[in-house]
Structure formats: C-alpha cells, structure tokens
A and B are shown apart, each in its own frame.
Chain A
C-alpha cells in the first residue's frame, strides 16, 4: 500500500501539486486522470522519488520515503517498476538487453537464469520475436511493451505507468491495459497508472483519482464515475459525445 499525505510540489514560482492526500492499495489498478498539464507526471515522479515534495509524506508499506537514507531509498526503488511516458528504453541496448539490464545490475543470477527470466517476461508482453532488435527498430507500441517488460522483470512491489497506452491504436491500448491489470492481480502489486484515455478508465479503473489544477478533485471507482455529479469530472470524462451517450444509457439501464 502507498499512502500519500498532503504533498506539495513547486517549480520556482509555479505551484504544481497543492496538497494531495490519498492511498493506493495492493492488487488493484489505480488510475490517475486529469487534463494535460494537471500534474499527473509530476505526481508520479514524486511517488518514484525523482522529485521530492516540499511538504508532505509518502509512505510505502510503513516506510516513510523522506526518512530513509540515500542507500535505503535506492534499495526501495529497486522494488519499483516504472513505465515512462516516452518508454525511456536504453538506445544502446537491444530489447533483450533492456529487459535484462535490472537483472544484471542487481541480481547474482547466472547468464542462463537471466535469459530464462527475460524470455518469460518477453513472452508475457508478446514480444519474444523482437529479442535482438534495437529500440529504434521497433514501433511505439512495441517500445511501450518492452518498457512494461523491463518494469516487471524484477517482480516489483510497486508498478507505475505514465500513459502506457497513449499514441497506440485502440486494440493495442486495450491489450496493454489488460496486461497491466493481469500482472497487478497475478503478483498482487500496487499499480498506479496515469492516463487520459477514457477507454482505460472504463476498462480497468478500479480506483480513479481525478486531478485538477494540482488538487484532488474527485476519487472513486469506474462505477461511481458514471453516477457522479461532480461537474469537473463529468465535463472531463464525458467530453466526447460517444461517452455522453454511453453514460445516458448506463443511467437509464440502472433506473
């Protein structure tokens, strides 16, 4: 479980996060949604320890991040997996090299043990054929999947995904969403996903946190988001006609 207690983050004059408090549970897909520029990436990077919030605490299963020493923080980070908005694969390494990288860095496994593990996770994301390709030689969707493979190869306790399916076709996007959900349930990890994709919200939104102007505007489940009267949320989620109709039908069906 990750507890976030009233975190604030500014860059110079710009106050980006203005006091966010929430909790994220194990074995559930937690979604953070909000408009572009609402601070989702900054929020996630605070959780990862890449940014340190000026005010507030982040607690990982009873460990308060700010109270840990530098080495303890690095140890804790080894239990985290992150899929960056732009994948952030190492260009100089092949697909297999990228996935193997954390194993080489932090485990004492033999070559063959590592290769087995790499094959297992690459199969998991359906990429076993791309083994020897370089990141520049594969498509954006494949890069995202490699990034997911790299994030889960160490069996993390915490998985963070920054817009894992932006820029992908709807079919691949749903595949990736389902993949993340399966992994979350299978390994019983805390998963937090940044997205502005409403399909993802409806598909895997077990807990949804809606950020607006650096504040928590609303939180709830995908079922609750249909019923909410919060105008900011409805205005954001049902900005497309299709979703407006879907919501109408959902409410009528309920009644």
Chain B
C-alpha cells in the first residue's frame, strides 16, 4: 500500500476490516444455536415478513418490466427481415437472466434490506441486543439465522417473477398488436438452454444470502441513536446493491463466460 496516499490507504484498510468482520459475523451466526422449538417460529415469522409479504411488489414490478421490455424490443426490431418471434425470445432472455434475478433483488435490497437493518439497528440502540447477550443468548444466531433460512425461500418468489414477467410481455406483445400469439410461443421456446435457469437460480440464491446478511451486519454493529438507524439503513442499501452488482458480474463471467 506504500504507493497510495495516506487517506486512501486508511479508507482501504477500513473496508478490508469491515469485510473481515462481516465474515467473522457469519461464522458467529452458526454458533450456539437457539432451541429448535423457538427457532422454528422465528423462521416462519421471517418467511412471512421477508418473502411472502414481498410477493405483491415483486409481481407488480415483474409484470410491468416484462411488458415494457417486450414493447421496447418490438419498437426497435422494425426491420421486416427479422422474424417477430425474436421479440418473445428477447423478453424471455432478459427477464429470466437479468430482470427477475438481479433487478428484483436490487428492489428487495431496498425493501427487505432496510427492514432488516432498521429492525436490528433499533434493537441495538435500545439495548435489546445487549439484553439478549446478557441472558446468554447468541444474539447473532437468534436474529440473523432465521433471516438467512427464510431468504432461502426467496428463489420461489423469483420463479414467480419470471413467470409473471413473461406473462406481462405476452399480454403487452399480443394485445398491443406487436406480434401474434403463435409468434410469441415460438420465440419463447427458441434456443432454450436449461442451464440459463440454473444460472439464474444460483445467482438468486447468493443474492438472497447477501440481502439477508449485509443489512443485518449494518444493523447489528451500528452505533448511536435513532438518527443513525436511518443512516445505517441507507448505507446498508448502498452496500447490498453494490455487492449484488459485483457478484452478478463475477457469477456471469464464471458461469456463462
């Protein structure tokens, strides 16, 4: 680090230290587990809170994104030599590969992530986390583990997002008069590579873990009062998005490149 100016160097080391403590946190999450009887209820509650209650917004977004992608593609493919069914092909590819897994995950980083940071951060500020620790509870396991497990159900939500996105595309394409139903179905099945689905779900699963843990990290280790809870939520959202975007790039290069 000798060639870096001192301030940059400090910032850099600071990030490294943060990343280190993030992984130390992850290790702690799996130690001294909470009784299963209690954990079970916590997990069910988090599935409801994190995944089930997000379905509405996920469906809403996917539907319109699918529709818009179809219309945009249709408007840009006005060369009569290009078959119309490519519109459906493009919709399928973009919804399955990027819009459903990545775009929706960024939205969830905002919705679910800010909920996680603010709920854990409030517990930190009001000493509820100290109260857990004093009782001898592993607070990280108690608070973060159920969120990680609940987010393992997140890929189901993304499967729905893919379906609804393509449905939105179909509706906009066929009823908007851009292509026929037959063309759409042909395009949808054109050059279908099953591994793309696997790729999309591998991504989603990793994003799910990021969405559960990065905001939890920012909430758990925050300092200060109510104002800082708000700031921590914002920082958590920025970092969750950054991690998702970078991870998306790396995974795409590794799995498809």
Contacts and interface: CB of A to CB of B under 8 A. Distances in A.
B127 interface: yes
Contact of A82 (B37, B122, B134, B137): B134
Nearest to A73: B136
Given A74-B136, A77-B136, A78-B135, A105 B35 contact: yes
Contacts, number: 53
B128 interface: yes
A74 B138 contact: yes
A93 to B, nearest CB: 10
B48 interface: no
Contacts of A134: none
Chain B interface size, under 10 / 10 to 19 / 20 to 34 / 35 or more: 10 to 19
A91 B34 CA distance: 19
Chain A interface size, under 10 / 10 to 19 / 20 to 34 / 35 or more: 20 to 34
B131 interface: yes
B43 to A, nearest CB: 15
Contact of A84 (B35, B122, B127): B127
Interface string B110-147: 00000000000010001110110111111000000000
B131 A82 contact: yes
A211 to B, nearest CB: 20
A78 B137 CA distance: 9
A88 B127 contact: yes
Contacts of A102: 135
Contact of A74 (B32, B122, B128): B32
Contacts of B128: 88-91
B140 to A, nearest CB: 12
B38 interface: yes
A50 interface: yes
Interface string A48-85: 11100000000000000000000100111110101011
Given A74-B136, A104-B38, A105-B137, A84 B130 contact: yes
Given A105-B34, A105-B38, A77 B130 contact: no
Contact of B133 (A50, A85, A104): A50
Contacts of A49: 134
A171 B122 CA distance: 31
A84 B137 contact: no
| Residue of B37, B127, B128, B135 with highest tally of chain A CB at under 10 A | B135
Contacts of A76: 136
Nearest to B35: A105
Interface in B1-49: 32, 34-35, 37-38
A78 B131 contact: no
Interface of B: 32, 34-35, 37-38, 122, 126-128, 130-131, 133-138
Interface of A: 45, 48-50, 71, 74-78, 80, 82, 84-86, 88-91, 101-102, 104-106
